[in-house]
Structure 1
Amino acid sequence: MTHVAEEIKNRWQEFSSQNPKVRIFDAAKQLEVSEEQLLLIDENQSVIPLVADMPRILKSIRSLGKVMALTRNPSCVIETKGVYDKLEFHGPMGLALNPGIDLRLFLRNWRHAYAVESRKQDRTLRSIQFFNRFGEAVHKIYALDQEQQQAFEQISQDLRDDRDFGFVLVESKPEAQSSKPYDKKLFLEEWAQLKDTHEFFQLLKRHGLLRVDAMKAAEGTYTERLPLSALEVLFQRVVEQQQDFMAFVGNDDMIQIFTGKAQTYRKMGSWLNFLDREFNLHFNAQDVGSVYKVTKPSVDGDITSLEIYSHEGQLICQFFGERKPGQPELESWRNLLATVAAQ
């Protein structure tokens, strides 16, 4: 073990003994190291490196049957359950369209994957965890019961990478970019001409705009900035009204989507939570810097959403009414957002 690895290991052991309930994501942030590095030196977990063939690994998950998928960013965590069945890959892009497992994968920066076993109280947790070149956890997949042990061990054996990954050096993440000078009038004219919500990314790219700056530019036309309390009102209303909705939570390398109704809402400190059998979402409200109600034209009529940004201007989460291409937006969702905006 290198001197750097030994130092991190000692700091991690001391930290975890003093903070036994802190999750590894938060520990890595406080220790100013990567989550992947902590995982590899954690003696309380069995970590098997897998071959760096991400599509192959992801397709193998089907053998586990029903699993729990988890994607997070610094402020929000989404967990859904389902089977990794319908998976498509086109170069560095991937797509999963299944009940419960609805994913958009951006594989360009994915680097390592591990089969992980850890003890938690009286049970063993088994997961497949994916990391990018910065040592950040991109996506995690958890087995749900002990009957899946044999299939999990088969994946670990078949896809094992025999190289010693005792410690990895990770790349430094580049500094966040700024928006470029742009023609606001032309930008808003092109926004008005959108035919599909998926065209919005290309609109931002053409004008060199960060998403949060686009929200500011369109205030009074296509966006409305709401009070930060609007997020909590949304959580309450979708449960009270049993509104069908879609939640998009992601990071630079993955987007995970929930579609359906939420049954249970609870606030715990600064965390807003949906806590259902098949769907959990945990949102740290103290990280919210801005909330926007957003309208985008489409061939199916206007599509409205709620977009939440961090203090640093990073997109944390988006909420839409449930819909599929070719369908107009639910009137009940539009009415719900109107009441949220009026609070």
Structure 2
Amino acid sequence: MGQTTIPSADTIRAARIEHANLRERDLADKLGITEAQLIAAHTGQGVTHIAPHPDNIMQIASQLGEVMALTRNISCVNEKVGSYANYQSGAHAAMVLNDKIDLRMFPAHWRHAFMVEKETDTGLRRSLQVFDAAGDAVHKIFLRDDNHISDWDAAKASAALPDQPTHLKLDERTPPEAAKPNPEKLEVLQSEWSKMTDTHQFMRLTSKLRMNRLGAYRIVGAPFVRPLATSAIDRMLNNVQAAGIQVMVFVGNRGCIQIHTGPIEQLKPMGPWQNVLDPGFNLHLRLDHVAEVYAVDKPTQRGKAVSVEAFDADGALILQVFGVRKEDYDSRPAWRDIVDNLPALELEAAK
């Protein structure tokens, strides 16, 4: 979103009072602004600007006990309850890795951050909220433990930046990269794909061949990728639930990827949304945004990594789901059976 004329801070605050039941993102869209601009308009009224780097955010979060971590893109939301233990900093990528909270963070996209206090029907809700250069949400952390309110207050007092503006200078939104295949390099792609020993090698391979993820999926063919019906993503969630197996669910944006590892126990569809409503884990997926789905098979030293991956109409990755292998548990055979029986794209087209 460019720096066109935006409503005044007073107008934005009045609109939030008038539309108190709207989510921040929906209200921002209604006003033609970004969510970060909506939050910034309340600076001094429950909103405090803080340094956005993950080192700072994680240091605060680690003091707040059990919290709810939220990472989303336009089509999917991943919410996990846990603590921010075992943070590992990095110049280009940072991470939190423990049995509840599993994050990959990319500091270059952590550009604006706030400590937010908002009155709700259940009392004052406290959250750390991080946004990218265009003002879109990267990651949010919600306080859950009242025993840590004094830690929150102390962090807010010490972390507040000298400059506390009610307006933000934002960059234009960068649109999702459309599928970028390179058919001239198809044989090289297939050959190098078969030699992979780690899933992380995939992005280096596609970059070397001047492709991207979706472009490679569209052309590589069997036995590496199978196009699925768009309905396959919902069937997959239902089949995982029925089988009682554990999976890894990756949901992210340019600045953060959040991973759930565990079962899917309770599914509750509501309108266009399919929702996982489990203790400690919620997932909210817009099924009507799913435009392409693929079953993907990548070789690794530990065996084949099989995933189901969904993309929207603009080519943006919505979510990825993998089977789980732990020292005392391996869901991959059951997961492979589920994936192998998902409907192919041609079956959907034939209906």
TM-score where L is the length of structure 2? 0.90
Separation in 1, partners of 2:266, 2:325: 22
Identify the residue that residue 261 of structure 1 maps to in structure 2: 263
C-alpha displacement of 1:176: 4.2
Change in 2 beyond 3 A, CA 1:175/1:310: closer
C-alpha displacement of 1:190: 0.9
Alpha-carbon displacement from aligned partner over 1:57-100 (angstroms, at most 9, x marks no partner): 21221111111000000000000011111011121310111121
Change in 2 beyond 3 A, CA 1:269/1:175: closer
Separation in 2, partners of 1:142, 1:309: 28
1:336 equivalent in alignment to 2:338: yes
C-alpha displacement of 1:305: 0.6
Separation in 2, partners of 1:207, 1:272: 36
Structure 1 contact 293–341 (Cα < 8 Å) conserved: no
Per mean C-alpha deviation after superposition, the further-off stretch among 49-58 and 194-203 is 49-58
Partner amino acid, structure 1, of 2:234: E
Identify the residue that residue 68 of structure 1 maps to in structure 2: 68
1:307 to 306, 309, 312: 309
C-alpha displacement of 1:111: 1.2
Separation in 2, partners of 1:47, 1:12: 12
Per mean C-alpha deviation after superposition, the further-off stretch among 47-56 and 69-78 is 47-56
C-alpha displacement of 1:296: 0.6
Separation in 2, partners of 1:52, 1:253: 12
Alpha-carbon displacement from aligned partner over 1:226-266 (angstroms, at most 9, x marks no partner): 11111111111111111110000000110000001121111
Identify the residue that residue 192 of structure 2 maps to in structure 1: 190
Identify the residue that residue 250 of structure 2 maps to in structure 1: 248
Change in 2 beyond 3 A, CA 1:30/1:207: farther
Structure 1 contact 94–107 (Cα < 8 Å) conserved: yes
Alpha-carbon displacement from aligned partner over 1:281-306 (angstroms, at most 9, x marks no partner): 00000100011111111112221110
* 3-state SS, counterpart of residue 275 of structure 1: strand
Structure 1 contact 323–330 (Cα < 8 Å) conserved: yes
C-alpha displacement of 1:53: 4.0
Partner amino acid, structure 1, of 2:313: H
* 3-state SS, counterpart of residue 138 of structure 2: strand
C-alpha displacement of 1:174: 3.2
* 3-state SS, counterpart of residue 183 of structure 1: helix
Separation in 2, partners of 1:11, 1:163: 20
Structure 1 contact 48–114 (Cα < 8 Å) conserved: yes
C-alpha displacement of 1:340: 2.7
Structure 2 contact 28–38 (Cα < 8 Å) conserved: yes
C-alpha displacement of 1:3: 10
Structure 1 contact 301–328 (Cα < 8 Å) conserved: no
Structure 1 contact 302–329 (Cα < 8 Å) conserved: no
How high is the sequence identity, in percent, across the aligned residues? 30
C-alpha displacement of 1:175: 4.2
The residue correspondences of 1:70-149 to structure 2 (distance < 5 A) are 70-149=70-149
1:165 equivalent in alignment to 2:161: no
C-alpha displacement of 1:268: 0.5
TM-score where L is the length of structure 1? 0.92
Partner amino acid, structure 2, of 1:86: N
Separation in 1, partners of 2:13, 2:202: 42
Identify the residue that residue 10 of structure 1 maps to in structure 2: 11
* 3-state SS, counterpart of residue 124 of structure 1: strand
Structure 1 contact 16–22 (Cα < 8 Å) conserved: no
Identify the residue that residue 272 of structure 2 maps to in structure 1: 270
Structure 1 contact 45–116 (Cα < 8 Å) conserved: no
Structure 1 contact 266–275 (Cα < 8 Å) conserved: yes
C-alpha displacement of 1:149: 1.2
Partner amino acid, structure 2, of 1:268: M
C-alpha displacement of 1:24: 1.1
Instruction: Structure 1: state its 5+ residue gaps.
Output: none
Number of residues paired by the alignment? 341
Partner amino acid, structure 2, of 1:112: H
Structure 1 contact 69–140 (Cα < 8 Å) conserved: yes
* Cα-Cα RMSD: 2.5
Separation in 2, partners of 1:26, 1:44: 23
* 3-state SS, counterpart of residue 196 of structure 2: coil
Partner amino acid, structure 2, of 1:206: K
Partner amino acid, structure 1, of 2:256: M
